[in-house]
Structure 1
Amino acid sequence: MTKKTSEPVRLGGELISSQVVEQLLQELRSGAFQTAEHLPPELELASRLNVSRTVVRDALSELEREGYVERVRGIGTVINRDVVNLHRRMDQKFEFNRMIEATGHHPNSDDLRVTRRPADAENAAALDLVPNTPVVYICRRILADNKPVLFSTDILPCSLFGQTRMDSIDFSRPIFEILNEECGIQITSTVTHVRAAVGDPVVRRALALTRDQALLELSETCYSRLCRPIMRCRTFYTDFFDFALVRKLM
């Protein structure tokens, strides 16, 4: 299958620093730094990781922006252990299959519906499309083992898939993975609206909710590089999930 090439290639330095971020997070959680209060100096980290000091500095800047560390003159790079140990952060890109796996349960889907429809006015405006442009709706119920825990609807322009036949795509996979592998697109940012919701009868039945159970609704518009709107997502989460939000105040 030929991948689409509409997205620019990441720069080498950016890719390396991202890899260093992931490596340091792993070391902070379960490796050499899992009990440390501070990270070593930049030069020592650069030698340890076999990268330049510039790459280390960029990686530490990213870790600081995400709240994992604070760099304090005269003290060094202080680790926020509470933030490091968070695994379900609403302020970061997350994928619900991984969140379910992190709780020790097996994620699976037993109700997947993929339909092609003309975009209504709201979705066309959000995705910068002409009204009635063909879009694909991917609706799914996700379970943790045998327990229904969320119901999601993803809406994407059919044009993203080029000449690829829709019936040849395994839509049970995570949607970010599908976009990356089938369309050559990476989601880099989202605008998310969060609210408590009742959910319509179809969603409530699918999630086997009792009368007194509420839902958390996340409505998102997802963007690729150059601020291009790619997808809309509407997801209803049950109280199986416990989200955290890290806010940088300074």
Structure 2
Amino acid sequence: MLRRAPSLTDQVKTHIKDLILQGEFPGGRIPPEMELAEALGVSRTTVRDALSRLEMEGTISRRQGAGTFVNNPVLQIHSRLEEIWGYEAMLEAHGFTPSTRLIETLEISAGDSPYDAATAGDLQLAPDEPLVLVTKLFLENDAPVILTRNSIPRRLIAEPYQADDLGRPLYEFLEQFSRQRLSYYVTDIVPLAADAITADLLKIDPGTPLVSFDEIGYDDSNMPIVKAHSYFRDDLLRLRLLRRRV
């Protein structure tokens, strides 16, 4: 399955954000819509829509009668946790030069998941239905930063694949080999102490506090297509959220 090309509005949004990060707007003031439209060679409507998306994510604010301004504190948030990122891209956004190591791929029965007894129910599988369990590390200079364990229903994988194919970002694998589009996650953020196996993989002491994401990923029709567990070393990667008043 081919990946969808970004819309013109998304391209303009990305370009304007790049200009913001490069400090191209003196005093943090965004030029008027018409001026931006002429500079970028697009319509004013496209610029307005791009600015609206930047405002929704908190990057800019529009002040009545004053103009549009950059929210500098928000620029310190290097990855948007409310968006689906490949973890290599997340680490790059934090200034790292990451690599990925595929630790293990197993085909097991859904009811035999060694890490989560709820996996079969969460993925709407019978206990004897097979799933593929993929364990990966994301590293910076050979130091493990993130550990992931992803469970994919075997029946969803429609195309032949090699083990190395599971090393790519999960959403890419699903699109190419399962013909499934990962639309969104429902995520529980869970603090926990590293067990012996997790600690060994992350090169930390057992019992070290970790931040973890327990997630169920859904397709566009709201069907569960993946169960994901991610474990983050807080001493190497600080996760930050923007919380806005509603």
Q: Partner of 1:152 in structure 2?
A: 148
The structure-2 alpha-carbon separation of the partners of 1:188 and 1:110, relative to structure 1 and needing over 3 Å to count, comes to closer
Structure-2-length-normalised TM-score: 0.85
Q: Deviations over 1:166-207 (max 9, x none)?
A: 326522222223233434444332211112111321111111
Counterparts of 1:67 and 1:243, CA distance in 2: 17
Conserved? CA contact 2:151–2:226, under 8 Å = yes
C-alpha deviation, 1:28, in angstroms: 1.0
Change (3 A) 1:211 1:199: closer
Name the structure 1 match of 2:75: 84
After the TM superposition, which parts of structure 1 deviate over 6 Å for at least 4 consecutive aligned residues?
Answer: none
Residue 212 of structure 1, CA deviation? 6.0
The answer as to whether partners of 2:61 and 2:71 remain within 8 angstroms in 1 is yes
User: Structure 1 residues 159, 189: closer, same or farther in 2, change over 3 A?
Assistant: same
TM-aligned CA deviation for residue 36 of structure 1: 4.1
1:43 to 30, 34, 40: 34
Q: Distance in 1 between matches of 2:192 and 2:101?
A: 23
The AA in structure 2 aligned to 1:19 is Q
The answer for unaligned runs of 5 or more in structure 2 is: 112-116
Of 121, 131, 144, 1:135 maps to 131
Residue in structure 1 matching 2:13, options 5, 10, 21: 21
Letter in 1 for 2:35: E
1:177 is aligned to 2:172: yes
Name which structure has the greater RCO, CA cutoff 8 Å, separation 6+.
1
Q: Equivalents in 2 of 1:187, 1:53: separation in Å?
A: 32
Q: Where does residue 220 of structure 1 map in the other structure? A: 215
Of 103, 107, 131, the match for 1:116: 107
1:243 to 234, 239, 244: 239
- Alignment RMSD, CA only? 2.6
Q: What letter is aligned with 2:157?
A: F
TM-score (norm 1): 0.83
**Are the structure 2 counterparts of residues 146 and 40 from structure 1 closer, same or farther at C-alpha, using a change threshold of 3 Å?**
same
Size of the aligned set, in residue pairs, is 240
Query: Which ranges in structure 1 are unaligned for 5 or more consecutive residues?
Result: none
Does structure 1 conserve the Cα–Cα contact (< 8 Å) formed by 2:194 and 2:207? no
